[in-house]
Each structure stands twice: as structure tokens, then as C-alpha cells.
Amino acid sequence: MKGAFLKCMKEMVVTQHGEDQWIEILTASDFPNKKPILATSTVPDEHFYSVLKTSQRQLKMGRRQLYDAFADYWICIYGPRLSPRQFEECSNSREFLAVLDHIHETVQRRVRGAKPPTLTMEWQSEDIMIVTYESERELVDLLMAMFRALGRYFNDDIERVEKIDSTHVRVGFAELVDISAAQ
């Protein structure tokens, strides 16, 4: 996993829970806590997972709560700093999702060792998108948190994010509710 994910996690914990909590988390997890974290370095996935698990325990948060806090920080604060143009050029989450694979492809080409997921999106109807998640990792729950965060960032119509199985997610946009309410 790129160091950017860990740096983002650190920033989220330090700004929302305090530096002491972050030091406790590093001490209790497998991550060597004296090492500086560089965004472009590669951190073994196990270290990142261990930081996630320890953070849940240390911050007394459930998995969904922690993933939502991380995804909010990644999408609303860290992402716009990393790729400001993508966020400025899109005015809603549908537009952003249309370029997401391109963003991840660019990351993969430009950042050595980066292996972002491949996300294939198909519209099942006007308001329901089925996302196929291909990754060497099993982070579908984090993917779902990212969708929820994207809806919050654009303050728009991502209404429901449901897991179909470990590689498929259904994203429901607001009009879905309007249409069924009118029937």
C-alpha cells in the first residue's frame, strides 16, 4: 500500500483524536514508529491492516465507523490536495466516478509500486450502478466507505451503498427513491 494511505490515516487520527493516540496506535501495531512515512513509499499491506485494526481498538470505533472517518479524510481533505484538478473539474459524484478509473490508472502509471483497484461500473438502471471491484486486496468495505464519502463531498445523491459480495457493490442514487415513490 502506498505511504499516502498511511499518511492520510495519521493526519486523520492526529487532527481528530490527538498525537498521543497516533503514537499509541503505532506502538501497538506492527508499524515501526520511528520511520518517517513518505507518500510515495510502499508500506507492506500487513502494516496498514495492522494500523487499521489497532486504530479501531485504540479509538474505540467499529470497523465501519473507522473506515468512514478514513474515507472522509481521504476524499474530502487528502484527495483534493493530491489531485485538485479532478475535484475542481467535477461537479457531482456521477461525474467523478466517470473519471475515477482514469485517476487510478494515472496513479498506477506514475507512482512506482502503486496497485490501486480496478473498478468497473455498469448502470443497471438510471440510478443504480453496479461496481465490480478487482484488487489483490480485500478491501470492499473500504470501497463502500469511499462511495459514502464521495456522496458527502459533493453533497449529492449517493443514497445507498450495498455489498452484493466481496467483489460487487450496488450504489443507489437518489432518483431511485423518487421513481419508486411515484409508482
| Total number of residues that touch ligand HEM (CB under 6 A) | 25
Residue 31 binds ligand HEM (CB under 6 A): no
State the minimum distance, in angstroms, from the CB of residue 68 to ligand HEM: 13
Report the residue from 21, 41, 135, 167 that binds ligand HEM according to the rule CB under 6 A: 135
First to last CA, the chain: 46
Q: How far is 133 from 99, CA to CA, in rounded Å?
A: 16
Give the x/- contact pattern for ligand HEM in 90-129, rule: CB under 6 A. Answer: ----------x--xx--x------xxxx------------
Residue 41 binds ligand HEM (CB under 6 A): no
Block residue for cell numbers 486523520:
12
Residue 82 binds ligand HEM (CB under 6 A): yes
Q: Cβ closer to ligand HEM: 21 or 170?
A: 170
Q: How far is 53 from 63, CA to CA, in rounded Å?
A: 8
Residue 109: exposure state from Cβ atoms within 10 A (0-12, 13-18, ≥19) = exposed
Residue 83 binds ligand HEM (CB under 6 A): yes
Q: How far is 78 from 158, CA to CA, in rounded Å?
A: 21
Residue 143 binds ligand HEM (CB under 6 A): yes
List the grid coordinates of 86.
479532478
- CA atoms lying within 13 Å on the CB side of residue 167: 8
Q: How far is 111 from 100, CA to CA, in rounded Å?
A: 16
Residue 2 binds ligand HEM (CB under 6 A): yes
Task: Name the site residues for ligand HEM (rule: CB under 6 A).
Answer: 1-2, 4-5, 75, 79, 82-83, 86, 100, 103-104, 107, 114-117, 135, 137, 139, 142-143, 146-147, 150
